[in-house]
A and B are shown apart, each in its own frame.
Chain A
Amino acid sequence: MGFLDILRGKRELKQPAPDRLFAMSTAYVKLEMELHLTSTGKAAIVFQPLATADFEQLVRDMEEIVRSTGSENEGSVKSSDDEHGYRWMIITDRDFEDLVVGVNAVSNEIQGGGYGDRILAAVFAFRDEKDRPLYWIYNYKRGAFYPFVPSGGGQQRDNERELRLKAQIGQDLPVEPELERWFPLWGIPI
C-alpha cells in the first residue's frame, strides 16, 4: 500500500497475485520422491461466500463446472461451510495433476465472476511416511505457498518441521518469505 493510500485511508482488497499455483504440479515430483510426502488425493479452496444473489449463482455454476470436468477421472467435488463462515470447495481426485487443475478451475471461475478478492487460500493435503497430516497452503493474494503441520491437540503446530520443509523444497516452490504470514488454518476439512 502506497503512502498516498495510507494518508487517504483507502481500502481496497488486494486482488490475487500472478498465479503460481501450477508450481505445485511440478514440485509434487520432488515432494513425493525426495521428501516422501504423498498426496491424500484431496485439495480444497477456501473463500468468503458473499450473501448476494449473483455470488450464490456463481457458486452454483462453479460446482456444476467442476463436477462435470472431474467426472472423467472419477473425481468429485463437495462444498462445506466452516465455523468462521468461510466456504470450502473440496476436490477429490486420485491424479495430483488433475487436482491442481480442479483447484485452478474453481479459482478461475470465482475470479472470472469478479470476486477474486474473496479467495483466501488453496490447500493441498499430504501425509508423510509416518502417516501424519501435513498441508501446503497457497495464499492467492501473495502468490506463494507455505507449509502447515498441525501437531495434534490445542492448536499446536510443528514449526521445526515447517521450517525444514521450506529448506527441503528450496527453489522448487515459491515459498512465502515472511514467516509472520504463514497463517495456520485450523480445522481443515481434508
Chain B
Amino acid sequence: MPRPTSFGKDTGLQIRMTVTMFLLGLVYVALVVALLAAGANGVTVAIIAGGLAALNLFASDKLALAAMGARVVTPQEAPQLHAMVERLCVQADLPKPKVAVANTRMPNAFALGRSPKSATVCATTGIMELLTPAELEGVMAHELTHVANRDVLVMTLAGFFATIAAYIVQFGFFFGGGAMGGDDDDNPSFFVLLLVSLVVYVVSFLLMQALSRYREFAADRGAAIITGRPSALASALTKIASGMNRIPQKDLRAAGELQAFFIFPAAKGSISGLFATHPPMEKRIAALQRLEAQLQGQIAA
C-alpha cells in the first residue's frame, strides 16, 4: 500500500496566497476602469508600461547578473555546484538552469529568468564558504523552486498594473497638464484617474509585498520537499542571517535593487513586517521545523 506523501498539505498558505492575488486583481480592475474612463491618455500609459515590463522581463537577468558582479560558470570551473544543481534538477524535474557565481563575501543566492528554460541560479562565494554541502543544497533547492514556480514572471505580472499606477502618479502632471491642450485645463476624468492610481499604487504595493512573502514560504517548502531535509535549510537560514549582520552597510545598499529573489534579503535596520519582501526568519524556521516534524511522522500530515 503506498503511504501518503511525506509532507502535509499547505492549505493555510494556499488560502492566503489566493486571497492576496484576488485582492490584487480587484484593485487592478478599479485601475483599468479608471484608465478606460480617462480615454486615450490612460491607454497610452498602459501600453508604455507594458513595453517597459516586457523589456524588464526579457533583459533584466543579464543586467542583474552584471550588477551583482556574477559570472556564469562552466562545470569545469565549479564542479561541485554544478553537480549539486544537476541532481536537484533531476529530483525537481526541471531542465538545467545556467549556474552563476558572484564573487562577494556576502552570503546569498538568487534565481533569475522568466521561465525554467532561461533561468539562472547564482550563489555567492561567501555562501559557498559559509555553508556545509547539505545546507547549500537546501538554499539551491529554494532558488530552483523559485524557478519552478516562475516567481520572476508571476511577480512581474502581478506588479504590472502597480507599475502603471506608479507611472501615472509620478508623471501625473505631464499628462494632466500641458499634453491635454489649451481649453481643457481641469480634465475631471484625469483627476479621478490620478486619485485612483494613487490608491492602487499604495494598496497594490502592500499586497505585492505580502504575495512575495507567501512565495518565499512556498519556496522554502518546495526546497524542503526536493531535498527531503527541512532542517538543513533551517540551519542554512540561521547561518546566513547571522552572517548578514556582520557585513558592512555599503555592500548591502549596493545590492538593494536585487533583493526580491535572494534567499535572504540584506538587513536594513528595522523594517516593519508589512513592507518586507521576505518573511521574518523565525517564521521561516518555524515553518521548516513543522515540515521536519511531519516528515518524521510526529504530526499527522
Residues of A within 8 A of B (CB): 1, 6-14, 48, 50-54, 83-86, 111-118, 120-121, 139, 141-142, 154-156, 178, 180-181, 183-186
Is B2 touching A114 in the complex (CB atoms < 8 A)? yes
Any A CB within 8 A of the CB of B68: no
Choose one: A9, A51, A84, A117; the contact of B229 (CB below 8 Å): A51
Contact A52:B297 (CB < 8 A) given known A9-B214, A120-B91, A181-B95: yes
Is B90 touching A141 in the complex (CB atoms < 8 A)? yes
- Give 17 pairs: A residue, B residue, CB < 8 Å, sorted on A: A6-B150, A9-B17, A9-B214, A9-B222, A10-B218, A11-B145, A13-B93, A52-B295, A53-B296, A85-B133, A85-B137, A114-B6, A115-B6, A141-B91, A155-B82, A180-B117, A183-B89
Choose one: B76, B117, B151, B226; the contact of A9 (CB below 8 Å): B151
Query: A13 to chain B: which residues have CB within 8 Å?
Result: 91-93, 225-226
Interface residues on B, range: 35 or more
Is A180 touching B95 in the complex (CB atoms < 8 A)? yes
Is A85 touching B134 in the complex (CB atoms < 8 A)? yes
Q: How far is the CB of A13 from chain B (nearest CB, A)?
A: 6
Please count the residue pairs between chain A and chain B whose beta carbons lie under 8 angstroms apart in the complex.
110
Provide the main secondary structure of the chain B interface: helix
Q: How far is the CB of A154 from chain B (nearest CB, A)?
A: 5
Is A11 touching B225 in the complex (CB atoms < 8 A)? yes
Contact A11:B89 (CB < 8 A) given known A111-B2, A112-B2, A156-B76: no
Q: How far is the CB of B288 from chain A (nearest CB, A)?
A: 14
Is B133 touching A84 in the complex (CB atoms < 8 A)? yes
Is B218 touching A11 in the complex (CB atoms < 8 A)? yes
Is A8 touching B14 in the complex (CB atoms < 8 A)? yes
Query: A180 to chain B: which residues have CB within 8 Å?
Result: 95-96, 117
Chain B 215-233, CB-CB to A under 8 Å as 1, else 0, gives 1001101100111110000
Is A181 touching B219 in the complex (CB atoms < 8 A)? no
